Amino acid sequence: MNWILDNLDLMLELTLQHIRLSLPPIILGFLISVPLGWVAYRFQLTRGFLLTVAGLLYTIPSLALFVILPPILGISFLSEINITIALTIYAVAILTRSVADALGSVDPAVRDCATAMGYGPWRRFWTVEFPLAGPVTLAGLRVAAVSTVSLVTVGILIGVQSLGYLFTNGLQRRILVEVFAGVVLVVLVALLIDALLAMAGRRLMPWAPRPRSSRRLALRGSAAPE
Amino acid sequence: MIEFRSVTKRFPDGTVAVDDFSLVLPSHKTTVLVGSSGSGKTTLLRMVNRMVDPSSGSIEIDGEDTSTLEPVALRRRIGYVMQNSGLLPHLKVLDNVATVPVLNGVPRREARQQALTLLDTVGLDRALADRYPSQLSGGQQQRVGVARGLAADPNILLMDEPFGAVDPIVRDELQQELIRLQRELGKTVVFVTHDIDEAFLLGDQVVILEQGGRIAQVGSPTEIMEAPASDFVASFIGADRGKRALSIRKTEHGFILVDGEGRAAGVLVGTADAG
């Protein structure tokens, strides 16, 4: 316990650093996955190929990526960009399938009706299909976010500071409580980002069905009879 | 006026949904296309706003060939009401109604204001304006669907089995409401149904379809009832049985009408000089 009390500053600094490293891959992964997912959803021929490749990306060991990327991209082995790019690739691997599935989950009758009312394809995608794909997309985004937060720790192996430092340092110095503190903090950061995403989802999609909530049922019940 | 000229629709899988169909749908009247599934009635309806393009033949609206018109713009000037309302689940009732005017570039505020008035028109409480479609009953959703179809004040209103999924009592209400609305608004309505009673109730012109969009008979409900053009029509409208096959029976107190099963259907009060 003493170790924790003596190192609160270090833990705070590493936590903030960890969050800072986690956010860009989540955001970039999302931005890249939307067009990829759309292509996979829209063109049946590309679907199998794209989703398989995306799935395979996730199987590349992260350490291997840290070694392969620098020579390809011409950056330093120790650069932080390494982490950002590698983790973005993993996020894309998870999210492309989510976005494709999410777009596929939109009720064809609603899409058809939007067309019948005079939505052009572009407008229909952004104002009808994409928002309606939101709940399923968000579910995938939450998985990708938690996965990213946990993968950031691996960056310590190429010297990028994060909560992963507590693992390696704790192991080397045989301070178990330090390793344990690292695990707890990673979990807390993951939960925090997950909760923020869930809150944003409720804010942006007030119409979406809410599991484990009685509010919708209550509103249903109050629908006035004809 | 909508005119179908020798319209044929062959789908890529080879099915011929509509074969050489020609018909004039007069303005400001309700034309009901009625037939069982496979009669091509929905395909015909969807060809009016180019949701489906004919394989051959043409469709004219007020003398204008629709194939020369841009589909998206065409759809915005034609109201569309479908089964299960087809409301956008992520928009509030008011925004659903305002959809087409907003697509047409009407400022959102103005479109919403106008949408509120439309809720009155279709007999919906304004308090429902801020609800999401999933929070309404089936009948209410269908009314919102009608309000949305009317929002851009189109000359033409296409209705694809709009009351097919609501219970009989609500359907009855909605039908009466549509009759009232049509009396006030005088749109050119194209209505698709498989229910002959609904067709006779709502249609100024009723078109009975056989398989492949072949016209079995066109006429007013009275004309069809008086002189079914074929055995198919007679059987389709049920002229030979049930509640439409009425006969007069003399009783001690006067005359009553009995249906095909021999049940009393009404009392004879005189003879009407219908036109």
CATH of the domain at B207: 3.40.50.300
Contact B103 A119 (CB under 8 A): yes
User: Which pTM was predicted?
Assistant: 0.83
- What backbone torsions phi and psi does residue A51 show, to the nearest 5 degrees? -70, -35
Cβ-defined contact of A118 to B86 (cutoff 8 Å): no
- B33-85 residue pLDDT tens: 999 888 999 999 999 999 999 999 999 999 999 999 999 999 999 999 998 87
Average pLDDT over residues A138-155: 94
Exposed (0-12), middle (13-18) or buried (19+): which is A9, by Cβ within 10 Å?
Answer: exposed
Contacts A226 to B, Cβ<8 Å? 137, 139-140, 170, 173
Asked if A123's CB is within 8 angstroms of B103's CB, the reply is: yes
Confidence of residue A77 (pLDDT cuts 50, 70, 90): confident
Least confident of A47-61, B103-117, B163-177: A47-61
| Spatial distance between the Cα atoms of B215 and B237, rounded to a whole number of angstroms | 14
pLDDT band at A44 (very low <50, low <70, confident <90, very high): confident
How many residues does the structure list for chain B?
Answer: 275
Claim to verify: residue B127 and residue B11 sit in the same structural domain:
yes
Q: What is the structure's pLDDT at A115?
A: 95
Q: Band of the pLDDT at A68, cuts 50, 70, 90?
A: confident
Integer-rounded Cα Rg, in Å, for chain B is: 21
What is the identity of the amino acid at B162? P
- Please count the structural domains in chain B: 2
B158 pLDDT more than 90: yes
User: How far is it, in rounded angstroms, from Cα A175 to Cα A1?
Assistant: 10
For residue A220, the chain B residues in CB contact (below 8 A) are 134-135
Q: Mean pLDDT over residues B19-38, rounded? A: 94
Say what angle helices A176-204 and A8-42 make with each other, to 10 degrees. Answer: 50
pLDDT of A58 reads 85
- B117 with B218, same domain: the answer is yes
Contacts of B131 in chain A (CB under 8 A): 219, 223
Spell out which chain A residues touch chain B, with contact meaning CB-CB distance below 8 angstroms.
107, 109-110, 112-120, 123, 128, 131-132, 134, 205-209, 216, 219-220, 223-226
Pick the more confident residue, B74 or B255: B74
Greater confidence (B130 vs B252) lies with: B130
Whether residues B127 and B201 fall in one domain:
yes
Which pLDDT belongs to residue B43?
Answer: 95
User: Taking a C-beta distance cutoff of 8 angstroms, is the pair A95, A33 a contact?
Assistant: yes
Distance CA B73, CA B64 (A): 14
State mean pLDDT over B241-263: 82
pLDDT at A215 over 60: no
Instruction: Give the closest of B74, B76, B90 to A207, CB-based.
Output: B90
Q: Is A152 exposed, middle or buried (0-12, 13-18, 19+ CB in 10 A)?
A: buried
Q: Looking at A131-135, A166-170, B75-79, which range is the least confident one?
A: A166-170
CB pairs under 8 A between A and B: 79
Q: What span, in angstroms and rounded, lies between the C-alpha atoms of A57 and A29?
A: 13
Chain A contact set for B104 (CB, 8 A): 118
Residue A1: the pLDDT is: 66
Decide: residue B258, CB within 10 A, 0-12 exposed, 13-18 middle, 19+ buried: middle
Q: CA of A106, closest CA in chain B: separation in Å? A: 10
Residue A211: per-residue pLDDT: 62
Lowest mean pLDDT among A17-21, A194-198, A210-214, B69-73: A210-214
Domain residues for B214? 2-239
B89 closest CB neighbour out of A110, A112, A219:
A110
Residues B17 and B19: their CA atoms lie apart, in Å, by 7
Average confidence score pLDDT of chain A: 88
Residue A223 pLDDT greater than 80, yes or no: no
Asked whether the predicted pLDDT for residue B199 surpasses 60, the reply is yes
B204 lies in the same domain as B250: no
Q: Sign of torsion, CA A122 A124 A129 A130?
A: positive
| B57-89: burial string, b at 16+ Cβ within 10 Å, e else | bebbbeeeebeeeebbebbbbbbbbbbbbbbbb
Q: How far is A219 from chain B (nearest CA, A)?
A: 6
Q: Work out the average pLDDT over A57-71.
A: 84
Residue A174 has pLDDT above 50, yes or no: yes
- Rounded mean pLDDT of chain B? 92
pLDDT, position A214: 46
Give the C-alpha distances (Å, rounded to integers) separating B119 from A117, B104, B114. Answer: 18, 20, 9
Give per-residue burial for A158-189: e unless 16+ CB within 10 Å, then b. Answer: bebebbbbbbebbeeeebeebbebbeebbeeb
Same domain, B139 and B261: no
Beta strands in B1-51 (DSSP E): 2-10, 16-25, 30-34
Residue A61: pLDDT over 90:
no
- Residue B253 is predicted with a pLDDT of 82
Do B260 and B150 sit in the same domain of this protein? Answer: no
Local structure of B56: helix, strand or coil:
strand
| B224, B267: one domain | no
Order of strands across the sheet with B30-34?
Answer: B78-82, B156-160, B188-193, B30-34, B205-209, B215-219
Tokens of B255: 């005359």
Q: What is the mean pLDDT of residues A96-124?
A: 94
Q: A132–B90: do the CB atoms touch at under 8 Å?
A: yes
Predicted local distance difference test score (pLDDT) of residue A48: 85
Q: Which chain B residues are closer than 8 Å to A131 by Cβ?
A: 90
* B231 and B250 fall within a common domain: no
- How far is it, in rounded angstroms, from Cα A102 to Cα A132? 8
Q: Are residues B195 and B254 in the same domain?
A: no
pLDDT at A104 over 50: yes
The pLDDT of residue A220 is above 50: no
Choice between B27 and A82, residue whose per-residue pLDDT is larger: B27
Q: In whole angstroms, what is the distance from residue B197 CA to residue B221 CA?
A: 10
* Chain B partners within 8 Å of A113 (Cβ): 80, 82, 86-88
Query: What tokens appear for B266 in the block?
Result: 């009404």
> If you average pLDDT over residues B135-140, what whole number do you get?
92
Whether pLDDT at B86 is above 90: no
DSSP string, A132-159: HTHHHHHHHHHHHHHHHHHHGGGGGGGT
B112 and B41 inside one domain: yes
The answer to whether the CB of A48 falls within 8 A of the CB of A111 is no
Render pLDDT for B215-249 as a digit per residue (tens, 0 to 9): 999 999 999 998 999 999 998 988 777 777 788 88
CB-nearest partner of B88 from A110, A206, A208: A110
pLDDT at B270: 79
B130-134, B136-140, B265-269: range with lowest mean pLDDT: B265-269
* Most distant pair of Cα atoms in chain B: their distance: 70
Is pLDDT of B5 > 90? yes
pLDDT over threshold 50, residue B22: yes
Residues B259 and B215 in one domain: no
Give the pLDDT of residue A212: 54
- Asked if B86's CB is within 8 angstroms of A112's CB, the reply is yes
Give percent helix, percent strand, percent coil of chain A, each to the nearest 5: 80, 0, 20
Whether residues B128 and B218 share a domain: the answer is yes
Provide the 8-state DSSP code for A174: T
